[in-house]
């Protein structure tokens, strides 16, 4: 059996926690822009985490209070095999009681006010 991290994360391997930390250091420009808008409870007092491990997944952004997952998709996510994996992942996440929002890099970079309004609507 693979050992799990004993702090903050339940049912998560140390490798997944390490990968999440790496992804935080290597954020895409769209992730950086959205994080600046979400960090520090700026959006209606909701606290968000970024690159948060859950089970076998790493969620781009997660708000525990509202069980809201936000994913930011780049161009690779339009490829059929990646899109299929994303849909399976989203189905699993939603089946476990999480709300889910998905945006593209372009939406975050060029329509940030609309993205934030969509997030506000989910957490209101």
Between residues 6 and 41, the one the model is more confident about: 41
What is the third-level CATH fold of 14-123?
Answer: Endonuclease; Chain A (3.40.960)
C-alpha 26/C-alpha 47 separation (Å) is 21
- Look at residue 3 and tell me whether its pLDDT is greater than 70: no
pLDDT of residue 6: 46
pLDDT tens readout for residues 75-110: 665 667 778 888 888 998 899 899 999 999 999 999
Q: Label residue 8 by pLDDT band (50, 70, 90).
A: low
pLDDT tens readout for residues 55-69: 888 899 999 999 999
Write down the domain spans for the chain: 14-123
C-alpha 66/C-alpha 81 separation (Å) is 30
In the structure encoding, which two tokens stand for residue 80, read together? Answer: 């059929």
89: Cβ contacts below 8 Å, ≥ 6 apart: 57
pLDDT of residue 9: 53
């Amino acid at each position: 059996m693979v050992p799990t991290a004993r702090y903050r994360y339940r049912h998560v391997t140390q490798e997944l926690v390490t990968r999440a930390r790496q992804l935080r250091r290597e954020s895409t420009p769209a992730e950086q822009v959205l994080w600046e808008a979400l960090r520090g409870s700026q959006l209606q007092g909701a606290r968000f985490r970024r690159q948060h491990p859950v089970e076998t997944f790493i969620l781009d952004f997660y708000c525990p209070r509202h069980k809201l997952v936000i994913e930011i998709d780049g161009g690779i996510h339009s490829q059929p095999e990646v899109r299929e994996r994303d849909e399976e992942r989203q189905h699993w996440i939603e089946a476990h009681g999480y709300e889910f929002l998905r945006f593209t890099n372009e939406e975050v970079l060029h329509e940030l006010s609309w993205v934030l309004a969509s997030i506000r609507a989910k957490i209101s």
